[in-house]
A and B are shown apart, each in its own frame.
Chain A
């Protein structure tokens, strides 16, 4: 069964450093998403992406964040200068039809900012 894959599974970084989280969405999907989940809390929407541009972003997704689809398969989330409070699980998801279709999630990347 096709699945969303994320790498790395765990990323440790120093405060102020840049990190890039990588995702390979399901191949025939058109919409891509990033979510964040702080330990013990709910899953929070960060950004959606379609046709090589951002469709929607939340208030969490400030200027420190960016997304990119550098080639036909990868979808990345970059955090320019990490803060302690960026420590969380980051989930990538994808679906065929935004908003009215099941989103399939990857296993996540745990980001630890020291």
Chain B
């Protein structure tokens, strides 16, 4: 989900479970979406992307789902590991313009 100010939504999962992180985007014209992972003290790292002509894309242990009808993006992480603990941001662009980030979700994986 989204958040305001300092209070990031948090998701806590058990190691080995699947995680689903959600993002609502604002611009119905957005046509390219990226999920980034940010570990403490580091810059955002690319995870997976999807273009608006698709509704699902899979990577290694990750799947992104795009629902343009409700302007919703989700990131699914299979068999979540402690190394997946981070803040996850979705980002959107439209019409070849610059990227805008969502507020982020903090994922905590319990061993």
Contacts and interface: CB of A to CB of B under 8 A. Distances in A.
Does A pair with B? Answer: yes
Contacts of A35: 101
A107 B89 contact: no
Given A98-B98, A99-B96, A100-B93, 9 more contacts: A33-B98, A42-B89, A43-B38, A43-B91, A99-B97, A99-B98, A100-B96, A102-B49, A106-B43
B66 interface: no
A55 B44 contact: no
A43 B5 contact: no
Interface string A29-71: 0000101000011111100100000011000000000000000
A25 interface: no
A103 interface: yes
B32 A100 contact: yes
Given A98-B96, A99-B99, A103-B99, A40 B43 contact: no
A73 to B, nearest CB: 19
A104 B46 contact: yes
B44 A45 contact: no
